[in-house]
Amino acid sequence: MKVSTWRLESGGLVYLGFALAFWICMSGAVRGESGDPAFSVLVFSKTAAYRHDSIPSGIAAIRALGEQNNFHVDASEDATVFNDGNLAQYHVVVFLSTTGDIFNPVEQAAFERFIRRGGGFVGIHSASDTEYDWPWYGGLVGAYFRRHPVIQPAILKVTDPSHLSTRHLPIEWKRTDEWYDFRDDLDPDISVLMRIDEKTYRGGRMGAVHPMAWYHAYDGGRAWYTAVGHTHESYSEPLVLEHLLGGIAWAAAK
């Protein structure tokens, strides 16, 4: 097996070194000799409150990441796909800008079992603005959304440059997005990957400790979240795409 990693060049992902494929190999999720995908991902984007018009751009971007990096991607907004039989085919479920109360109790229970069997979760942007009355989900995503100011540029500061989803980023990353404040009851077990510098934009109300991306082990599974991704432009930014790819790959570990 060729051991390689990836970076973005001219807007596309290309292979250069050893990190991603080596990491997948070490985790057991490797390409079979038949050329089968290394793992499978379900992108779920159901909304019951605000709907981001960037969702189609996000789905297209994740599909492209899968095509370029040997993982299979399905997309759905049908909550009935959250049953034991269907979820068994996936390694990772991505909540792409979901909002509101999107599951009934049966579907919630199926997703809990998926995570407890070792499944991976990736939350993007308003995945934290979802299922406020389901405490288990709040623990999984790590924090609930509270508010945001207008879309504007700001500086993100990488606090863990060794993680697969941040190792490619500049230590200070200036970009434009919709910057979330979260409720004060952040999960104490999350490992923060990036914080936002509130001095570099208007309207942040969390102070010096203001996380924007994190990961943690949770109830038998793996959970990774990033608050970036409100705008269409996010899903054509090379650094954002690598950030998402690293989070998906990390969550897919077996």
Cβ-based neighbours of 189, under 8 Å, separated by 6 or more: 216, 217, 218
The predicted pLDDT at position 2 comes to 29
Please list the rounded mean pLDDT of every run of 10 residues in the chain (254 residues). 32 37 38 71 98 98 98 98 98 98 98 98 98 98 98 98 98 98 90 98 96 98 98 98 98 83
The predicted pLDDT at position 177 comes to 98
Q: How many domains does the chain have?
A: 1
In a domain, 26, yes or no: yes
In a domain, 227, yes or no: yes
**What CATH code is carried by the domain that includes residue 241?**
3.40.50.880
The predicted pLDDT at position 227 comes to 98
Which residue range forms the structural domain that includes residue 128? 6-251
The predicted pLDDT at position 106 comes to 98
In a domain, 1, yes or no: no
In a domain, 57, yes or no: yes
Q: Which helix (H) or strand (E) holds 174?
A: strand 172-177
Sign of CA dihedral 4, 8, 98, 226: positive
In a domain, 231, yes or no: yes
Cβ-based neighbours of 233, under 8 Å, separated by 6 or more: 176
The predicted pLDDT at position 184 comes to 85
Cβ-based neighbours of 19, under 8 Å, separated by 6 or more: 5, 6, 164, 167
